[in-house]
Amino acid sequence: MIGVFLKLKNSVLKALIDWKSEISFSEDEIQTLSEIHNSLNVVKLAVLSICRRDATLHTADTTLKFLLKKLDEQNSALSFKLAMNLRSRIKQRRLLLAGVLHYLHDWEDFSTQDDDDTHTFPKPNGIDIADTITNLLQQLKYKPKDTDTIPVILSERSVLSSSSSSDAEVVVHELTLQEQLDKELEKCKKTPKNRSDFDLSGFIKVEQAMYESGGQRGVYLTEAYRYLMCVLPTSVESERAFSSAGYFCTKIRSTLSDEMLDALLFLRAHYQEQRSLKK
């Protein structure tokens, strides 16, 4: 509405003069409206960008930096207050994962980040990045195993292998060459088990050193990057799902039983299908 008024302000002022109306707008009021429109227009574009379906934590950071930059360039009282409140809110809500994703997306841009932005968008250090990636991969894929049971299992296997060694020698002699070959081929088909002494954190630190030296992302850094790219910066998609569910669960329908709701939904779907067939 403010934008439409600013476009038609000259026509509105002329119409007020022709009507000899007592209503008038000063230059200060017009300037205030223009500042409000410019500030809110930038905020609107930023909100639409963050709420896009293909938005990520990295694109959200880029959008917020652009928003703060444009508000600072406007150099008005309103834009100053908006930028100050936004910076305070970003510091409270921004996750460490956003900084890790920025690091994985572009190391050079991450390392050359302006000092002014580090207050609002803090950069995690190498230790925090390695710990975050390690915890992320352990939760999603490389789950640590309980090493306390390994010696017991090994001891039982050693006892079983020692007791059955004599029997195995007899069985091997009785097998034909074809059966022995088939047995060896079956061993090749078995997938190797994960090592109990697997040092995920050590591999990640090695890949970090190579990545920061100008190399490409390693296997584990790439996996972490793909996982973080799936994180949405807002809850818009979840709210869309809830709003769709609210179409069926209104105040009137919520007083009905579950069986009645199921029957109504079934009839609604049935009649909608019948209408589509008639068309």
Query: Is pLDDT larger for residue 272 or for residue 248?
Result: 272
Q: Is the pLDDT of residue 269 over 50?
A: yes
Q: Is the pLDDT of residue 172 over 70?
A: no
Q: What is the pLDDT of residue 157?
A: 46
Q: What is the pLDDT of residue 245?
A: 53
Query: Is pLDDT larger for residue 153 or for residue 96?
Result: 96
Q: What is the pLDDT of residue 178?
A: 80
Q: What is the pLDDT of residues 58-91, one digit of tens each?
A: 999 999 999 999 999 998 888 999 999 999 999 9
Rounded to the nearest 5°, which phi and psi values hold at 149? -90, -5
Q: Is the pLDDT of residue 167 over 60?
A: no
Using pLDDT thresholds of 50, 70 and 90, give the confidence band for residue 255.
low
**pTM summary value:** 0.64
Q: What is the pLDDT of residue 238?
A: 65
Could you write out the DSSP letters of every residue in 221-273? HHHHHHHHHT--SSSHHHHHHHHHHHTT--TTGGGS-HHHHHHHHHHHHHHHH
